[in-house]
Structure 1
Amino acid sequence: MIYDFLQTDLAGTLILAGDGNRLRHLNFINGKHPLAVQADWRRDTSHFTSLKAQLADYFAGNRKTFDVDLLAEGTPFQMKVWSALLEIPYGRVVSYQWVARRIGRPGAVRAVGAANGRNPISIIVPCHRVIGKNGTLTGYGGGLDVKQRLIRLENPALLSGGRLNAPLPVG
């Protein structure tokens, strides 16, 4: 596994890790589930040059999508949730309930929340775009302050005081 770090003003220090061709992890160093660098991993500061540039463009408000091959690993349920997250458009938010319905498991809202929280490729697989059905911001691996900053970056009109300003979009 190849890895490197990216320092950002908006989200703090991120760790990027991949198998050489595909990104497997994009995590917050100070998040709820920090990624531990393994002894057999190799740091390469030049490997993620394109992705780092894309992330810098995103944080500057100049990029809405990413061009990177992903390889997330999880349970079949987690994979369905993470796939549904990729369908949420830039600048929009949906509820955990919307995701549960989207994957055909309308009663699995809590399980969707748990899978969302275990997303190994934050930001690119936009788990920050999922909020409570009443419009409140709920848990985020990078912290609620980072979640709020990411949502505000994508659509400044959406938030006021940690709550959604308008009715929750249905997707």
Structure 2
Amino acid sequence: MDTPLGVMTGLIEGNGFICELGFGEINHPSSPERPPKEVSTTRLYLGRQLFDYFHGRLRNFNLPLQPQGSVYQQKIWSLMREVKYGFTMSYKTLAEAAGDPLGSRAVGAASAANPIMILIPCHRIIGSDRALVGYRYGLDKKTKLLQLEGSIPKSQEVLTQPLPGID
């Protein structure tokens, strides 16, 4: 499906659960000619929700997810889903929330392995110094997603917004 940031491709299991979503092509076996009703329904809702998200009308996705990964990755992805629209969290803080205070790199690895982009919002995870680091599809896309969500200002806003206390 087309989005303002490029084409996104997904994989939906026969039970209607999304197991992959990313920018560009995903290598997976070809789909049957007539997918089960659950797949068609999920595909329809996914398209609508992504459209609304990219147009600023949706903050929380309500779709069935079934990402494949290790127990640790599942834990990290679950915690990522708790980071609300418009907010960010550092890799270090996420590691601490997972009970692994020295696990920033492991969180980064789990983030890099995230199979369901945007719905599992790994783009909201940033460096402890607030630097935008580590996004599989490039920092430009990460920046645009965070700008869309209002987590970081758009460059025009930086130039046009008056500083507090200055007339």
The TM-score range, normalised by the shorter chain, is 0.7 to 0.9
Q: How many residues align?
A: 149
**Structure 2: runs of 5+ lacking an equivalent:** 156-167
Alignment of 1:35 onto 2:26: yes
What percent of counterpart residues are identical? 36
Q: Counting helix residues as a fraction of each chain, which structure ranks higher?
A: 2
Give me the TM-score of the superposition, normalised by structure 1.
0.81
Aligned residue type for 2:7: T
Residue deviations 1:31-55, cap 9 Å, x none?
xxx621324x347798211110110
Aligned residue type for 2:102: G
Residue 110 (structure 2) aligns with: 115
Residue 9 (structure 2) aligns with: 15
- Aligned CA RMSD, in angstroms, stands at 1.9
Determine which of 63, 73, 81 is the counterpart of 2:68.
73
Question: Superposition pairs for residues 49-68 of structure 1, below 5 Å?
Answer: 49-68=44-63
Contact 2:11 2:28 in 1 (8 A): no
CA–CA distance in structure 1, aligned partners of residues 34 and 56 of structure 2 = 27
Q: Counting strand residues as a fraction of each chain, which structure ranks higher?
A: 1
Cα gap change, 1:43 to 1:150, in 2 (>3 Å): farther
Contact 2:147 2:154 in 1 (8 A): no
Residue 148 (structure 1) aligns with: 143
Identify which of structures 1 and 2 has the higher relative contact order when contacts are C-alpha pairs closer than 8 Å and 6+ apart.
1
CA–CA distance in structure 1, aligned partners of residues 7 and 44 of structure 2 = 16
Question: Radius of gyration: which is bigger?
Answer: 2
The structural deviation recorded for 1:160 is 6.3
Contact 2:127 2:133 in 1 (8 A): yes
Aligned residue type for 2:9: I
